[in-house]
Amino acid sequence: MDEVDLARLRREYEANGLAESMLPAEPLPLFRAWLHDAHNAALAEVNAMVVSTVGDDGRPSSRMVLCKVADDRGFTFFTNYRSRKAGEIASHPQVSLLFPWHPLGRQVRVEGVAERVDPAESAAYFSSRPRGAQLSALASRQSAEVADRATLEARVHELSERYADDVPPPDFWGGIRVVPDTIEFWQGRRDRLHDRLVYRREPAGSWSVVRLQP
């Protein structure tokens, strides 16, 4: 196909749908069930999520990261605290997440407030990473310009020789947890009459559910 006519690209969704009667009282069990379905369907990078932030100039920015923890506290990923996303989060902690499970006709949208995780938790996760990933995290000044790839590779090589045994966790690297106040479960349906059911956290901590029109 030499030229793709985007307007004609269309897929019909055949899923049974998502009804209010199917929902648990809290969103996490449903999220875990959908994550399990994505894993069983052998989807690539089932824990990949889009993180969207906004800068001081009001310009939004999105990127894909890997969710490493999803529990009652929120959704956690790990990054360089000097990166663009971490800097924007520090100034504007309201962020959104998106889990895109296209082959299943599903997506989960999360909105909430981001916060840094405890340094001990970050250090524990860092120690579980492969050595190469540890060295890359230590070597990279994430989001900063670099002359060429050789510069990065030389920095990794130098650090590898310096730390022949354990690689110390850098103080500029760690976890960011998004504490959700809204979680939307989107299920594709025929004729674009999709199901959109949204959990909203109430002031007392419980969750309410509303249906949005597609």
Strand partners, 51: 63, 97
Supply 58's token pair. 């009001």
Among residues 131, 141, 192, 211, which one is catalytic? 192
In the chain, domain spans: 16-128+171-211
Residues 6+ apart with CB under 8 A from 111: 94, 95, 96, 97, 180, 181, 182, 183
- Are residues 69 and 75 in contact, defined by beta-carbon separation less than 8 angstroms? yes
One pLDDT digit (tens) per residue for the chain, 214 residues:
456 665 666 676 666 789 999 899 999 999 999 999 999 999 999 999 999 999 999 999 999 999 999 999 999 999 999 999 999 999 999 999 999 999 999 999 999 999 999 999 999 999 999 999 999 999 999 999 999 999 999 999 999 999 999 999 999 999 999 999 999 999 999 999 999 999 999 999 999 999 999 9
| pLDDT value for 2 | 56
- Distance CA(183)–CA(106), nearest Å, equals 13
Catalytic-residue membership of 189? no
| pLDDT value for 1 | 47
pTM of the model: 0.91
Q: Is the C-alpha dihedral spanning 120, 130, 50, 70 positive or negative? A: negative
Q: Which CATH class is domain 16-128+171-211?
A: mainly beta
